[in-house]
Structure 1
Amino acid sequence: MKTLQQVLNQKTHQGIISIAPNRPVYDALVILAEYKIGALAVIRDGVLVGIFSERDYAREIVLKGRSSKTTRISEVMTEKVITGKPDELVESAMSTMLEKRFRHLPVVDNGKMLGMLSIGDILKETISYQQELIKQLENYIHS
């Protein structure tokens, strides 16, 4: 099974899509729509300080009747972010994401964010690994 760094290396978009905590939520929504993603890293002075997701928007803006144009990201972002390490195996990350019930995992090494993986990225890699394993077992059986 691959490491998180190997999965990050395979992604077509290598850049980190982020937003500053002092920006309005509306700006985050524009970025999410533009890149067709579900979450943004919230970065201040080069350091990951939170994550803002569609889930945060639904729970903290829509359901509470707040304005996305006047509410700042820092007011509604998830601050306690679980991160993965580049040498962590996909299987371990998937277990953590499923157990803790979150869909976006920033990969961080020595305080520096390397990228973000979604549960879709993790599942895609897991399925690919299992398909390859099945193929190898079938070849072994037939030889």
Structure 2
Amino acid sequence: MPNRKISEVIGHRPFPSITKSTSVRDAAIIMREWQSSAVLILEDGLLIGICTERDIVFRVVAQACDPSLIQVGTIMTCDVQTIHSSKPFGHALHLMYEGGFRHLPVIDWRGRPIGLLAAHDALDADGLQMEQELVRREEITVIL
């Protein structure tokens, strides 16, 4: 699992994206619709930031601000760490651990976002590996 390429982990899975002028409330609605705890902020197809549940809670809710009146551009995390799709998944997990974040935008060779990794992707991959192992053991049991 750690040696799998990131491109294999994310496949062609779509990811949520918005502009910096989107309200925080609308961003939260999009996150709910996509069942995602983060959304990428794009401008002309380029990544300019990321907005996560933590950004919304710490920078809007905890400050008693109205999410309908705040634009995502004012609370998003800028200078986002990214990773190329050809890198190993284990490298992405290491970057997330070291950086203390749970989301990592994936970019292509042009630097354009093509996906969004989340820490829970590690659990999904482990689950798939465990399922494959169970099937293999069942097949061996049938043979014996």
TM class by shorter-chain length? 0.7 to 0.9
TM-score of the two chains, using structure 2 as the length reference: 0.83
> What is the CA–CA distance in structure 2 between the aligned matches of 1:60 and 1:88, rounded to whole Å?
32
Preserved CA contact (<8 Å) 2:20 2:41: yes
| Residues 66-115 of structure 1: CA deviation (Å, up to 9, x unaligned) | 11001000000000211111111011111111111111111012211111
> What is the CA–CA distance in structure 1 between the aligned matches of 2:72 and 2:7, rounded to whole Å?
28
- Pairing of 1:1-143 with structure 2 (within 5 A): 1-9=3-11, 14-109=13-108, 110-126=110-126, 128=128
> What is the CA–CA distance in structure 1 between the aligned matches of 2:68 and 2:100, rounded to whole Å?
28
CA RMSD of aligned residues (A): 2.1
Give, in angstroms, the shift of residue 127 of structure 1.
5.8
Counterpart of 1:55 in 2: which secondary structure? helix
Counterpart of 2:29 in 1: which secondary structure? helix
Give, in angstroms, the shift of residue 34 of structure 1.
1.2
Give, in angstroms, the shift of residue 124 of structure 1.
2.7
- How many residue pairs end up in the alignment? 134
Q: Where do 5+ consecutive residues of structure 2 fail to align? A: none
Percent same amino acid among aligned pairs?
Answer: 28
TM-score of the two chains, using structure 1 as the length reference: 0.84
One-letter amino acid of the counterpart of residue 23, structure 1: T
Preserved CA contact (<8 Å) 2:40 2:49: yes
Give, in angstroms, the shift of residue 28 of structure 1.
0.3
Say if 1:39 and 1:119 are closer, same or farther in 2 by CA, change over 3 A: same
Q: Where do 5+ consecutive residues of structure 1 fail to align? A: none
